[in-house]
Structure 1
Amino acid sequence: MSDGAPKLEVGLTHVAKVIVTDEMTPAHLRSEPLRVLSTPNMIGLIERTAIEAVQPYLAPGQATVGTRVDVAHLAGTLVGMTATITVELTAIDRRKLTFRVEVRDELDEAGKGTHERFIVDAAQRLPRLEDKLNRWKAAGGKPA
């Protein structure tokens, strides 16, 4: 959404492929003989693919933040299989971006649903986060 850059439009599609590794499986199941992509890692791959899709269209200083994920995890994707993540931008409402998402492996549809992101200005977001950090410290929080 910057002058001179391509315009972000409904229908934008982006595909990413990732080979599932042991680190992407649920920790409590890593001793099992057949290990699969965990749901949190599937969601992370979806978010990363959506970010990659829109990044070239953002103005300097802009980023996107995830605000909603509604994904059904339909089938296990085994370690060593390739997860193919497809995101399609289906709606733009000012700064809100809505994506249709799908995750497939070589044999099955592993996940599908929707994902929403908002375009934010880092300079405007930073003071709010610094304020939250200070309030947390004042309440006894110990930042990492």
Structure 2
Amino acid sequence: MLETGIKGKQEVVVSDANSAKTMGSGTLDVFATPAMTALMEKTAWMSVADQLDEGCGTVGTLLNVTHDAPTPLGMTVWCETELVEVDGRRLVFDVAAYDAKGKIGGGRHERFIIQNEKFQAKANKKALAE
């Protein structure tokens, strides 16, 4: 059983690959908002992954964040998460992203615990229905 208080931390270096220009979220060589949100999701799921039952994972269902400051190429960005609510299979995380100059974004992220094979089969069934 997961309990609140679980924390996570992940980092990434800002590069051409995760820039707004490359990711299509803008025209500048700065850390892209989609890259920041992906880092937030990764940090959250990884923080609880080893505490889930065998064959289970989590999927993101809600992300409500702000991206408040730019980060240039070459700078490291890190994300910190904390599990603040457990409601059955629903997990709620506080998320925050930082660079060397301070906080660049933050908010809330929800994930649901799923059975990996069952979830994948449901997704695959969609492709067969076409």
1:98 matches 2:88: no
Residue 48 of structure 1: SS of its match in structure 2?
helix
What do the CA deviations read for 1:1-45 (whole angstroms, capped 9, x no partner)?
4xxxxxx2101111112111111102253xx5xx21100011111
Runs of 5+ consecutive residues of structure 2 not aligned to the other structure:
none
Equivalent residue number for residue 80 of structure 1? 74
**2:58 alignment partner, one of 61, 64, 73:** 64
Runs of 5+ consecutive residues of structure 1 not aligned to the other structure:
2-7, 137-144
**Aligned-pair Cα RMSD in Å:** 1.3
Between 97-106 and 10-19, the greater mean CA deviation after superposition: 10-19
Moved over 4 A (4+): none
Greater strand proportion: 2
Structure 1 distance, partners of 2:63, 2:15, is 23
Equivalent residue number for residue 44 of structure 1? 38
**1:21 alignment partner, one of 10, 15, 35:** 15
Residue 121 of structure 2: SS of its match in structure 1?
helix
Residue 30 of structure 2: SS of its match in structure 1?
coil
Structure 1 distance, partners of 2:113, 2:123, is 16
What is the percent sequence identity of the aligned residues? 36
Return the TM-score normalized by structure 1: 0.82
Return the TM-score normalized by structure 2: 0.91
Structure 1 distance, partners of 2:100, 2:72, is 10
Shift of 1:130: 2.5
1:126 matches 2:120: yes
Q: Which amino acid aligns with 2:115?
A: D
Residue 11 of structure 1: SS of its match in structure 2?
coil
Residue correspondences, number: 126
Between 41-50 and 13-22, the greater mean CA deviation after superposition: 13-22
